Structure 1
């Protein structure tokens, strides 16, 4: 199965990094292109399938709503339609974000498809802030996993009546830090939660087996692979919105992706911020991880 490369340069789910400014992660797809990602994947058979542009960033959060909420919902619907088209053409979508709020679009696409799908959420944070555990909800990029499993306001967690996009028991999170304030809550709810410290302690091979045991099941038709690059330690990857020490190294992430990608129905890469990488060093590092890590995306699907 060939990869279909799709850009989704949304920054709508992030808070502004400073007053009157906008987050830089919308530049990530083109920064990765400049670093050689598209060329190197094309040499392995990947096909470029365009871009789904977001609406204008407005930072218009109001009580009971996300910032940029209307634009997020509109973008999610349009991105889901494009993911549908790639899958209908027999391609494994590789969506290059953008912020991790684009996970809602992947969920919409898979909920509209026949079958039942799981989620593997690789992220340096649980991203599980939601109205039941916080009065600070405003940015989908810190709340995407909660929205994906139906634990958010219906406007975002139940678009077109399709929520929850993934059942909690079909969802695995891996990569958060031990001090993540929502670690206990997600551990109770999801099929498995594996902090970065546990991955390093037990090794990538065992971690991948645990993840696959949870989502590569006979009663599921596959799983979506979400990668937020802040799963990496900031000593290696500081060009992210919320860097926290204690993350994976490049070899660990490459090995983990390579173990999980072949059985996935598609994947997304999010929250790389080129504004924090002016000379392209970190874009090249990320490309060197993603090419071997995701080259076999969708190859061994059921």
Structure 2
């Protein structure tokens, strides 16, 4: 991939798909620890894009930072066959799509760094990436303790959109859509963006009860590449190379990396919104992520599940920020990792 050296940063203040509040403050936390200044001082060519310059891209421009306004958690009634806080979740996707469109219009094929929010923003991100890299095969490394394959068709469905991210991306039965609702701006289609050829599940905590046997069986039956949290804990760099090799073998040329920090064990690093005891230490996951980020085929990184309520002095947010800045700085310089 002939990759631009420029980097666009998007802050997503949202926790509208979650079971508890907190993640909507992640965007402010990253700003508080000066990630922008740290990137600039590290030599990263950061592009500050004002969406108001692009009033015709995906609707009217809402202001200098399209995602400054929070799309937050709120108690929502359970509706069988649907998601809680549906309006808020669709609004989040529209805002993310808007910002991604603006970013790519201003700086075609710049590296995209998306901070904050939650994994259910990925349908808007990946559909934008697919459109931008239309001449390449797009893929995903999904670093998450959970498979996120729940859907409204499950008997134990609780209505939380963040738990069905991969259901949406794989266009599985139960995926939701707003295409038939008469809206002039549909944002959520049953578009199959991920399959066994272009997707790697990385750091999945297989024994966790949230990963239902039927979901794991589906991944096995469809021949998905699943690298467990135990495997990552034991061989982080080797498993990251294994993920990249799988995508390379399938001719994936534009790779998006998504990091849910719940893939890091909370015994040492309890930053995630909901803890998941994966056995993967912070530095171990950073070793794996460093290998992934060294690939010139990686076109963007999203970070989700950060809950600053668990990090009152922002020490963990700062640790994560320093690691990400270091990885992007080395990409900028073209250094090998």
Q: TM-score, normalised by structure 2?
A: 0.78
Distance 1:102 1:234 in 2: 23
- Tell me whether 1:207 sits opposite 2:224 in the alignment: no
2:128 corresponds to which residue? 109
Cα distance in 1 between the residues matched to 2:332 and 2:146: 25
- 2:59 maps to none
Given that 1:228 and 1:271 are in contact with CA atoms closer than 8 Å, whether structure 2 keeps it comes out as yes
- Separation (CA, whole Å) in 2 of partners of 1:170 and 1:298: 26
Give 5+ residue unaligned stretches, structure 1.
17-22
Q: Which residue of 1 aligns with 2:57?
A: none
**Alignment match, 1:140:** 161
2:7 corresponds in structure 1 to 3
2:16 corresponds in structure 1 to 12
Work out whether 1:126 is the aligned partner of 2:114.
no
Matches of 1:134 and 1:168 in 2, distance apart?
26
Measured in 1, the distance between the counterparts of 2:148 and 2:218 equals 11
Structure 1 residues 239-258: Cα deviation after superposition (integer angstroms, max 9, x where no partner):
22221223322222222222
Structure 2 residues not aligned, in runs of 5+: 50-64, 180-185
Distance in 2 between the 1:148 and 1:92 partners?
21
Partner of 1:195: 228
For 1:80, what is the secondary structure of its paired residue? helix
| Cα pair 2:120 2:165 within 8 Å, conserved | yes
CA distance in 2, matches of 1:164, 1:299: 35
Of the two, which has the highest radius of gyration? 2
1:221 is the counterpart of 2:253: yes
Q: Could you say what secondary structure the match of 2:289 adopts?
A: helix
Offset, 1:54: 4.8
What is the match of residue 75 of structure 2? 59
Q: Deviations over 1:116-157 (max 9, x none)?
A: 311110012222222444431411222212211112423279
1:213–1:70 Cα change, 3 Å: same
CA distance in 2, matches of 1:163, 1:48: 30
Query: What is the alpha-carbon root mean square deviation over aligned residues?
Result: 2.6
Pairwise CA distance, 1:188? 3.4
Does 1:72 pair with 2:70?
A: no
Change beyond 3 A, Cα 1:37–1:247: farther
Distance 2:117 2:189 in 1: 25
Deviation, structure 1 residue 274: 0.6
- Match for residue 32 of structure 2? 34
Aligned residues: 293
Change (3 A) 1:244 1:141: same
SS at match of 2:177: helix
> What's the TM-score once normalised by structure 1's chain length?
0.86
